[in-house]
Structure 1
Amino acid sequence: MRMNHLSGLAGAVALTAIVAAAGPSWAQQQAPMLDALVESGELPPVEERLPANPLVVEPVESIGTYGGTWRSALRGGLDNAWIARTVAYDGLVRYNREWDEIIPNLAESWEVSEDSRTYTFKLREGLKWNNGTPFTSADIAFAVELMSEPSYGAGTFIKNPNNPVTVEVIDETTFSFVFENPNGLIMDDLASVNGFTVVSLNKEYCSQFYPKYNPDAEANAQAAGFQTWELHMQDRCSWATETIRWANPDLPMMNPWMIEEPLTGDATRTTFVRNPYYWKVDTEGNQLPYIDRLSMRVSDSLEEITLMALNGEIDFQDRHIATVANQPLFFDGQEAGDYRLGANVPSTSNTLVLQFNMNHVDEKRRELFQNKDFRIGVSHLLDRQEIIDVVFTGQGEPFQVAPRPESPFYDEEFAKQYTEFDPDAAAAAFEAAGLVKSGDVYTFADGTPLQITIDLIASFRSEWVDMMELMQLQLEAGGLDIELNNIDRTLYYDKRPLGDYDAQIWQGDGGLDVVQEPRYYFPANGESVWAFRWQAWYNGANPEIAEEPAEWARNQMDLYTQLRAEGDPEVRSDLMKQILEISKENFPVIGVSLPGNGYYIAKNNMRNIAEPMLHAYLFPTPGPYDPFQWYFAAE
């Protein structure tokens, strides 16, 4: 089944994962580290550990060799995203390496009803958790049942109040998701990093903490020091990619590596070891993964992690350390550190998104920030080329928050509108917005001073401080009084429902994953900071603050509701183009520049790594490039 939402990217990465339709007829091979366990009887033979139809994966370059430890690092004990990207990308389905097709994974096939309400999946026969117990439809049903509990977890699509889902178990390997309303985007959700959710909870193990299956669950929770069974369950069976999930080695997994040294609160290292029941093989019948172990240093110090990479003590990593500032260091250190730099093509549309709060609790600010002319004026005051030259050493180009050039949704006019540095055009736009120049600064029409505070989290992106300091100077030179407010991430999020903030910044999601991440194109979700109360109205969240959106935004919401219910990819694409056209016309947020290519660091003897890689969160790089088929070549 093809999902053509990103078909324009097919040429960006000329790689294809080949999935066999039938089981291999050859004799399977296993990693030498498992030989002794099989000989002693602690493990069954490899052919008994694999499913009847293992997923056959073609290596990027060549058949690999077994062994070795992949070294990387986490930035502190809460850095769960790197584990999700490297260990956990194994859902029912997955994206291919080009990000233009959804392909089988734990499910070997699926069928979709004509009304896009019922999705029936066929699991591979004989799948096993890493402890050797069967992985069946009952585990899927249990995960949905548990995550449907109001007091437990989140659960992505499972807890969508606008489209409830139930699971119908047909047999051990066949089940259906049945939605109350049509759901045209569920396959993309399941193929993304979010797809790990429904395959992450082993019923046999986790049901012991659930009162529905164990009457003693509440008492056991209190005896273990937890106030409720939900807290005990979360500690033992945390869903999806939460950090706490990696603290329990007893929790069964379906991933290529399983927990060896857990990620506890005081851990300085966490490690993963190969899963002897992993259900993928290469084209010669060798059970994957090739690499025996993953070792992740846990450090709060970016300087330490950067130095590890320079010293050749990291085998593959991009997260945190592959910054613009570090690039010259890493480039010059390649020979000494025995590593190479490979290209990442980012999915982000922009290096920074400036979002003025259109739902401000102050009426005058709300009216100003909703005025398109005001936003146009701000955009014309930004000397984007200066920012690109100073902060990004000339990499990138002036760009609004719009689909990237590699996207089939790319619209050059949309991407380039209002990007000219033009103080005269800015002055005309501010006048049209009702601002009055008093001396060197603008005020409200009634003479009230106008100072605009922009919130940022300096620690999240090191380049944001440099960018915002330049933007502050540029905007003040044009007559706007700007204050920068560096705040904690928790407070950053807490301010949103209160509505008492002028503007916040973030990175430009949605450059390639346009349909799946539309936060800046219309008020789609809680990350649509520019219209937080409009998105609350749309999503039925925070009813106490929800406000009916402007007509143009309501039109976008209606179109996206149609899109979500549409089973035809071409119709979905047409609906998304209409949403983007409305966004182009109303210009809700302001961008700075199109990011240049990023990079990753890989040791020279680490093979089967693709270049370039498309890089996103929903397409959780490097996961879709199959780290289980990476290997260390002999020196």
Structure 2
Amino acid sequence: MGKNFSLGLTGAVAIAAMMAAAGPVWAQQQSPVLDAAVASGELPPVAERLPANPLVITPVESVGTYGGTWHSALRGGLDNAWIGRTVAYDGLVRYDREWKEIIPNLAESWEVSEDSRTFTFKLREGLKWNNGTPFTSADIAFAVELMSEPTYGAGTFIKNPNNPVKVEVIDDTSFSLVFEKPNGVIMDELASINGLTLVSLSKDYCSQFYPKYNPNAAEEAKAAGFETWELWMGNRCSWATETIRFANPELPFMSAWMIEEPLTGDATRTTFVRNPYYWKVDTEGNQLPYIDRLEMRVSDSLEEITLMALNGEIDFQDRHIATVANQPIFFDGQEAGDYRLGENIPSTMNTLMLQFNMNHVDEKRRELFQNKDFRIGVSHLIDRQEIIDVIFTGQGEPFQAAPRPESPFYDEEMAKQYAEFDADAAAAAFEAAGLVRSGDFYTFADGTPLKITIDIISSFRSEWVDMMELLQLQLEAGGLDIELNNIDRTLYYDKRPLGDYDAQIWQGDGGLDVVQEPRYYFPANPESVWAFRWQAWYNGSNPEIAEEPADWAKEQMDLYNQLRSEGAPEARNELMKQILAIAKENFPVIGVSLPGNGYYIAKNNMRNIAEPMLHAYLFPTPAPYDPFQWYFAQE
């Protein structure tokens, strides 16, 4: 084997050594809410519930006290990302709080072969799911086996046709992931929120829905009201952070809190209670988490959630409510609501990405949207400084799809190209793209009217409506007839495979996590809305709609395949720079502005919350800052 990794958290090394020597009996402290269950024999003592080598967590400020309910809110029954950010970040490995290192989690150590093909993990001995059944290497093998099913499937980091993987089980606590080719990015995948997929499926529970282990699964699926075993399995054992994962209280968890009241389509709240078998402790041997319960109000009304925060009814949250528009009222309401504002540093590189559909089913629109001159013209019609001043009170700067200034991949020319508000340059670019000005608006060269519909989801970012209404005025003043289409998030996603949309918007991911989130730099994944059918070709998904990409995009795909197979970080970075250079040259998507720093809201008695926090999706803030060690200070 090659490199060996067996890392510890700062300040915990001596305690970890003591634990290994003393065995599990050293830990005696648990939440008082579990005392009765232990006394009655319903639960074993805490020392028997912990693994032999629990993960020791150093609190941000101080050792906490048990108790309390953390109140927050979800925006509608499909809003599962907040649960992923608060409850579900517990994979084999994880990122440290500074997003600099990959550190142990469920796996206490790992080794990487010299050729970066074989990754051998050692699980903590004695890990248990929240129902008390052992968590072993067999669960990992089962998850990979199931996710490799052609009709069930999973994320590309496991089900990657370019680099298949198999699991070699060594014993109950040791296994290897063996890839056909070198895999230079797998550890980052496992450390991100995506790593949940590999530790989500208890073989003991989920095998009952799988024909390989239950020959009657197809028949039982129909009896349960499902047409196929895959649909039954998906309903009971969702493999990722989809909403359905949090709709089944029977599904075993390895996280700090487990489902009490499930998240369903018509739920008005969802709740989670502490996992009595959670496998982390603080530096004094207290089993985590400190907080007993999580309660999330489910509401479609942003105004209701905002009012809850102002009234002090939310203990910690940033999602949905921590907007630029809300910041002044939240700042002024701190004393009355008994809360404070902390700083979030975003990983995103843009407040809004405008993505024209290069794979449009209409040939004329496809040709137009693939024309770089057209995209340059649109970009020059956007008065970014006006949007920054009006919508973001002057915070931010004009910016395209490019790595953030803090990133080692930052390229100022890429970030600033075509970002000047210049109506004459726009007109020249549209002429080069073959458009003809006829009265107030441009038409196609044959005189066919050109009306462009841009899909938006106001429920995801409240400022998007204001931004797009202003952007609509700017583009129409420059001769483009624009219609805004505010639609439901489900329909927003459903339109993508159909290919009949003109353009969609989203936030600019990939500002700091450039290698891990390249959706705007090349057609990398289904979030590359600007070339959905090209990414389907690349990923081997949706074969019925997949289309061979343009040569420049195929070159990027080849480079990224090389990157994923490269073990040396320096070589991966050089390959990513080549991908970015091609993106810079071809300018596939249009950005508006670099976001200013964000904020979160926390009750004054909630402790051990880090400030500032790096804020990302793959680094799923606040989860890497260990909410299980947050606590409510005693009044």
Q: TM-score range by the shorter chain?
A: over 0.9
Q: Which residue of 2 aligns with 1:331?
A: 331
Partner Cα separation in structure 1 for residue 551 and residue 228 of structure 2: 45
Q: CA deviation at 1:144?
A: 1.5
SS of the residue aligned with 1:459?
coil
SS of the residue aligned with 1:194?
helix
Partner Cα separation in structure 2 for residue 550 and residue 119 of structure 1: 35
SS of the residue aligned with 2:353?
strand
AA aligned opposite 2:428: A
AA aligned opposite 1:22: A
Deviations 1:256-309 (A, max 9, x none): 112222334443222211112111111121111111111112222222221111
SS of the residue aligned with 1:22?
helix
**Are the structure 2 counterparts of residues 331 and 383 from structure 1 closer, same or farther at C-alpha, using a change threshold of 3 Å?**
same
**Are the structure 2 counterparts of residues 223 and 447 from structure 1 closer, same or farther at C-alpha, using a change threshold of 3 Å?**
closer
AA aligned opposite 1:581: A
AA aligned opposite 1:621: T
SS of the residue aligned with 1:158?
coil
**Are the structure 2 counterparts of residues 123 and 442 from structure 1 closer, same or farther at C-alpha, using a change threshold of 3 Å?**
same
Partner Cα separation in structure 2 for residue 350 and residue 315 of structure 1: 28
Q: Which residue of 2 aligns with 1:508?
A: 508
Q: Which residue of 2 aligns with 1:518?
A: 518
Q: Which residue of 2 aligns with 1:185?
A: 185
**Are the structure 2 counterparts of residues 411 and 355 from structure 1 closer, same or farther at C-alpha, using a change threshold of 3 Å?**
same
**Are the structure 2 counterparts of residues 218 and 538 from structure 1 closer, same or farther at C-alpha, using a change threshold of 3 Å?**
closer
Partner Cα separation in structure 2 for residue 147 and residue 385 of structure 1: 46
Partner Cα separation in structure 2 for residue 132 and residue 447 of structure 1: 70
Q: Which residue of 1 aligns with 2:138?
A: 138
Partner Cα separation in structure 2 for residue 498 and residue 536 of structure 1: 12
Q: CA deviation at 1:243?
A: 1.8
Partner Cα separation in structure 2 for residue 199 and residue 149 of structure 1: 17
Q: CA deviation at 1:618?
A: 1.2
Question: Is the Cα–Cα contact under 8 Å of residues 320 and 460 in structure 2 kept in the other structure?
Answer: no
Partner Cα separation in structure 1 for residue 108 and residue 184 of structure 2: 20
| CA RMSD after TM alignment | 2.2
**Are the structure 2 counterparts of residues 248 and 430 from structure 1 closer, same or farther at C-alpha, using a change threshold of 3 Å?**
closer
Partner Cα separation in structure 1 for residue 230 and residue 450 of structure 2: 48
Partner Cα separation in structure 1 for residue 538 and residue 629 of structure 2: 43
Q: Which residue of 2 aligns with 1:11?
A: none
SS of the residue aligned with 1:66?
coil
Q: CA deviation at 1:481?
A: 2.1
**Are the structure 2 counterparts of residues 188 and 18 from structure 1 closer, same or farther at C-alpha, using a change threshold of 3 Å?**
farther
Deviates more, 1:16-25 or 1:510-519: 16-25
1:72 aligns with 2:67: no
**Are the structure 2 counterparts of residues 417 and 42 from structure 1 closer, same or farther at C-alpha, using a change threshold of 3 Å?**
same
Question: Is the Cα–Cα contact under 8 Å of residues 344 and 597 in structure 1 kept in the other structure?
Answer: yes
1:22 aligns with 2:17: yes
Partner Cα separation in structure 2 for residue 476 and residue 126 of structure 1: 64
Partner Cα separation in structure 2 for residue 249 and residue 538 of structure 1: 37
SS of the residue aligned with 2:119?
strand
Name the % identity.
Answer: 87
Q: CA deviation at 1:153?
A: 4.9
Deviates more, 1:201-210 or 1:597-606: 201-210
**Are the structure 2 counterparts of residues 494 and 471 from structure 1 closer, same or farther at C-alpha, using a change threshold of 3 Å?**
same
Question: Is the Cα–Cα contact under 8 Å of residues 96 and 102 in structure 2 kept in the other structure?
Answer: yes
**Are the structure 2 counterparts of residues 401 and 18 from structure 1 closer, same or farther at C-alpha, using a change threshold of 3 Å?**
farther
Q: Which residue of 2 aligns with 1:99?
A: 99
Deviates more, 1:534-543 or 1:518-527: 534-543
**Are the structure 2 counterparts of residues 75 and 483 from structure 1 closer, same or farther at C-alpha, using a change threshold of 3 Å?**
closer
Q: CA deviation at 1:77?
A: 2.3
Q: Which residue of 2 aligns with 1:445?
A: 445
Q: Which residue of 2 aligns with 1:563?
A: 563
Partner Cα separation in structure 2 for residue 222 and residue 480 of structure 1: 53
Q: CA deviation at 1:139?
A: 1.0
Q: Which residue of 2 aligns with 1:463?
A: 463
Q: CA deviation at 1:22?
A: 3.3
Question: Is the Cα–Cα contact under 8 Å of residues 3 and 113 in structure 2 kept in the other structure?
Answer: no
Q: Which residue of 1 aligns with 2:396?
A: 396
Question: Is the Cα–Cα contact under 8 Å of residues 2 and 101 in structure 1 kept in the other structure?
Answer: no
AA aligned opposite 1:291: I
Q: CA deviation at 1:151?
A: 2.6
Q: CA deviation at 1:589?
A: 0.8
Q: Which residue of 1 aligns with 2:382?
A: 382
Q: CA deviation at 1:566?
A: 0.7
1:492 aligns with 2:492: yes
Partner Cα separation in structure 1 for residue 156 and residue 419 of structure 2: 36
AA aligned opposite 1:86: T
Q: Which residue of 1 aligns with 2:591?
A: 591
1:109 aligns with 2:109: yes
Q: CA deviation at 1:613?
A: 1.1
Partner Cα separation in structure 2 for residue 535 and residue 231 of structure 1: 25
SS of the residue aligned with 1:99?
coil
**Are the structure 2 counterparts of residues 248 and 366 from structure 1 closer, same or farther at C-alpha, using a change threshold of 3 Å?**
closer
**Are the structure 2 counterparts of residues 505 and 114 from structure 1 closer, same or farther at C-alpha, using a change threshold of 3 Å?**
same
TM-score when scaled to structure 1? 0.94
Q: Which residue of 2 aligns with 1:410?
A: 410
Structure 1 residues 197-596: aligned runs within 5 Å: 197-596=197-596
Partner Cα separation in structure 2 for residue 299 and residue 602 of structure 1: 20
Partner Cα separation in structure 2 for residue 236 and residue 468 of structure 1: 40
Question: Is the Cα–Cα contact under 8 Å of residues 23 and 52 in structure 1 kept in the other structure?
Answer: no
Q: Which residue of 1 aligns with 2:164?
A: 164
Q: CA deviation at 1:329?
A: 1.8
Question: Is the Cα–Cα contact under 8 Å of residues 475 and 481 in structure 2 kept in the other structure?
Answer: yes
**Are the structure 2 counterparts of residues 493 and 225 from structure 1 closer, same or farther at C-alpha, using a change threshold of 3 Å?**
closer
Can you give the 5+ residue segments of structure 1 that lack an aligned partner in the other structure? 4-15
Q: Which residue of 1 aligns with 2:54?
A: 54
Q: CA deviation at 1:227?
A: 3.2
Partner Cα separation in structure 2 for residue 456 and residue 477 of structure 1: 21
Can you give the 5+ residue segments of structure 2 that lack an aligned partner in the other structure? none
Deviates more, 1:298-307 or 1:96-105: 298-307
Q: CA deviation at 1:410?
A: 1.4
Q: CA deviation at 1:155?
A: 4.4
Question: Is the Cα–Cα contact under 8 Å of residues 23 and 53 in structure 1 kept in the other structure?
Answer: no
Partner Cα separation in structure 2 for residue 435 and residue 537 of structure 1: 30
AA aligned opposite 1:612: P
Deviations 1:441-461 (A, max 9, x none): 333334443332222223332
Q: CA deviation at 1:559?
A: 0.8
Partner Cα separation in structure 2 for residue 393 and residue 311 of structure 1: 25
Question: Is the Cα–Cα contact under 8 Å of residues 18 and 56 in structure 1 kept in the other structure?
Answer: no
Partner Cα separation in structure 1 for residue 444 and residue 518 of structure 2: 32
Partner Cα separation in structure 1 for residue 12 and residue 354 of structure 2: 43
Structure 1 residues 111-126: aligned runs within 5 Å: 111-126=111-126
Question: Is the Cα–Cα contact under 8 Å of residues 3 and 112 in structure 2 kept in the other structure?
Answer: no
Deviates more, 1:242-251 or 1:394-403: 242-251
Q: CA deviation at 1:420?
A: 1.3
Deviates more, 1:177-186 or 1:61-70: 177-186
**Are the structure 2 counterparts of residues 632 and 197 from structure 1 closer, same or farther at C-alpha, using a change threshold of 3 Å?**
same
Partner Cα separation in structure 2 for residue 610 and residue 333 of structure 1: 22
Q: CA deviation at 1:180?
A: 2.1
Question: Is the Cα–Cα contact under 8 Å of residues 260 and 271 in structure 1 kept in the other structure?
Answer: yes
Partner Cα separation in structure 2 for residue 242 and residue 492 of structure 1: 16
**Are the structure 2 counterparts of residues 29 and 201 from structure 1 closer, same or farther at C-alpha, using a change threshold of 3 Å?**
same
AA aligned opposite 2:373: D
Partner Cα separation in structure 2 for residue 557 and residue 231 of structure 1: 32
Q: Which residue of 2 aligns with 1:13?
A: none
Partner Cα separation in structure 2 for residue 229 and residue 536 of structure 1: 25
Q: CA deviation at 1:27?
A: 4.3
Question: Is the Cα–Cα contact under 8 Å of residues 3 and 111 in structure 2 kept in the other structure?
Answer: no
AA aligned opposite 2:254: M
Q: CA deviation at 1:2?
A: 11
How many corresponding residue pairs? Answer: 624
**Are the structure 2 counterparts of residues 507 and 310 from structure 1 closer, same or farther at C-alpha, using a change threshold of 3 Å?**
same
**Are the structure 2 counterparts of residues 76 and 450 from structure 1 closer, same or farther at C-alpha, using a change threshold of 3 Å?**
closer
Partner Cα separation in structure 2 for residue 558 and residue 625 of structure 1: 36
Deviates more, 1:534-543 or 1:18-27: 18-27
**Are the structure 2 counterparts of residues 229 and 500 from structure 1 closer, same or farther at C-alpha, using a change threshold of 3 Å?**
closer
Question: Is the Cα–Cα contact under 8 Å of residues 344 and 613 in structure 2 kept in the other structure?
Answer: yes
